[in-house]
Amino acid sequence: MRIWGLRDHWVRICYYWNMDPLDWIDEETARLEAAGLLRSLPVGLRSAGGVVEIDGGSVVNFASNDYLGLAADPRVVAAAAEACREFGVGRGASPLVSGRSTVHDALEQRLAEFFGTEAALLFPTSFAANTGAIPALVGEGDAIYADAKNHASIIDGCRLSHAEKHVYQHVDMAALEKLLAEGDNYRRRLIVSDTLFSMDGDLAPLVQLAELAERFNAMLLVDEAHAVGVFGERGRGVVEHFAKEDPRVLERVSVRVGSFGKALGSAGGFLCGKRALVKWMANRARTYVFSTAHPAALSAAALMALDLVDREPGRRRGVLQMAAELRERLQAEGWNTGRSESQIVPVVIGEPHQTMRISQGLRERGIWAPGIRPPSVPEGESLLRLGITAGHTEEMVDRLVGALGELRR
């Protein structure tokens, strides 16, 4: 044994002489750079309205998900500051131990009332909500049916579950139906989908998803991260939007996931649904059980943001109206805005270097519109992702359209 131990040592000296075991990262990074896929980390400073100070300059920001302009709203900030003074910054423990405060309790009740469900549960982020909830619903011997363009957090939740995963082409309901019809010897089945897709800005066909869930007795989890506060007559999301067409959508959606990090202007995630489901999640979702509770200041900010969604419907209407006008103008000038029907307006360029060239050109013209490349979008579908927010003015949109026109030439 002793001799082998010595030999190992010697081998290591010979072969790894002066080598860092992390050296492979340099090679892989160089590969990303050559493919035009290396990302830099911009430093954003103050953000006010549609403008952000970034890397020392002031630019019109089309890269924010603060759709309703609530992130810096004085009422939201004041609510957070007050709760922070009362409850401290950190909660010090998981909600199951001692992290849950009266603010958390109030917010969970408010969410349930807001979405018209029996109950709701807070998570540190909605990434955590998905990676916790999906493995709590399905496991070995079960099946998941997932849209090909679902968010990374859903994809990771599916992987963690060990359930058999069936991916259907983006919003292709015939493909989903076929997959569901083929396999019925699973213990449980779960259909998962974003409701508003974060890169394409299109909507999942929830009426058909609900119908299929009903026909095949499958659970249906939908992620409203980009839709809460923006879609639906009262800002409840795409579920509300389609429930107008067919109220069965409300009954058939088993789990609704949402984020406070986008239109609601702070950070954190939640899910809502039946009381029994929420109780199960509080016991079984590992990202709930084993993670420090959502900071009370952010829960208080979220409570205020939900009130503002109710009191100021003009924000979401203005945003959707402005986005519709932008799409029309871009299309008229020959840009490809894909299937967008929301405040997220992609300009599909295709090739990553070309995409970054246009993004850089916009930057030089005082406009911040990031290029989105693989792996965030499929190969050959690199795009500029434009997000319209309540902080944007007509003049800012004019400037964007004008600058894009210049760059096309």
- Which x/- pattern over 215-234 shows residues binding ligand PLP (rule: CB under 6 A)? --------x-xx--------
Q: Name the active-site residue from 153, 198, 266, 342.
A: 198
Which helix or strand (DSSP H or E) is residue 344 part of?
strand 344-350
Three-class DSSP category at 23: coil
Measured over the CA atoms of residue 141, residue 145, residue 146 and residue 148, the dihedral's sign is positive
Return the number of the residue (151 or 327) whose C-beta is nearest ligand PLP: 151
Return the number of the residue (128 or 180) whose C-beta is nearest ligand PLP: 128
Per rule CB under 6 A, is residue 126 in the interface with ligand PLP? Answer: yes
- 94 vs 267, 273, 282, 383, CA distance in Å? 17, 21, 11, 39
Find the helix packing angle between 314-332 and 296-311, rounded to 10°.
80
- Tell me which residue of 46, 221, 49, 207 sits closest to 151, measured CA to CA: 221
| Interface pick for ligand PLP out of 269, 338, 346, 352 (rule CB under 6 A) | 269
Find the helix packing angle between 152-161 and 126-137, rounded to 10°.
30
Per rule CB under 6 A, is residue 194 in the interface with ligand PLP? Answer: yes
Per rule CB under 6 A, is residue 370 in the interface with ligand PLP? Answer: no
Greatest CA separation for the chain: 77
Q: Residue 262 catalytic? A: yes
Measured over the CA atoms of residue 334, residue 336, residue 340 and residue 345, the dihedral's sign is negative
- Nearest distance from residue 259's CB to ligand PLP, in Å? 3
- Nearest distance from residue 290's CB to ligand PLP, in Å? 17
Q: Name the segment binding ligand PLP (CB under 6 A); options: 121-129, 140-148, 311-319, 393-401.
A: 121-129
Return the number of the residue (10 or 290) whose C-beta is nearest ligand PLP: 290
Return the number of the residue (197 or 335) whose C-beta is nearest ligand PLP: 197
- Helices (H) then strands (E): counts for the chain: 16, 14
Backbone angles phi, psi at 235, to 5 degrees: 75, 20
Question: How much of the chain is in helix, strand and coil states, percent to nearest 5?
Answer: 45, 15, 35
Return the number of the residue (61 or 363) whose C-beta is nearest ligand PLP: 61
Q: Name the segment binding ligand PLP (CB under 6 A); options: 125-133, 275-283, 293-301, 382-390.
A: 125-133
Per rule CB under 6 A, is residue 149 in the interface with ligand PLP? Answer: no
| Interface pick for ligand PLP out of 91, 100, 104, 151 (rule CB under 6 A) | 151
Residues that bind ligand PLP (CB under 6 A): 125-127, 130, 151, 153, 194, 198, 223, 225-226, 259, 261, 269
Active site residues per annotation:
198, 226, 262
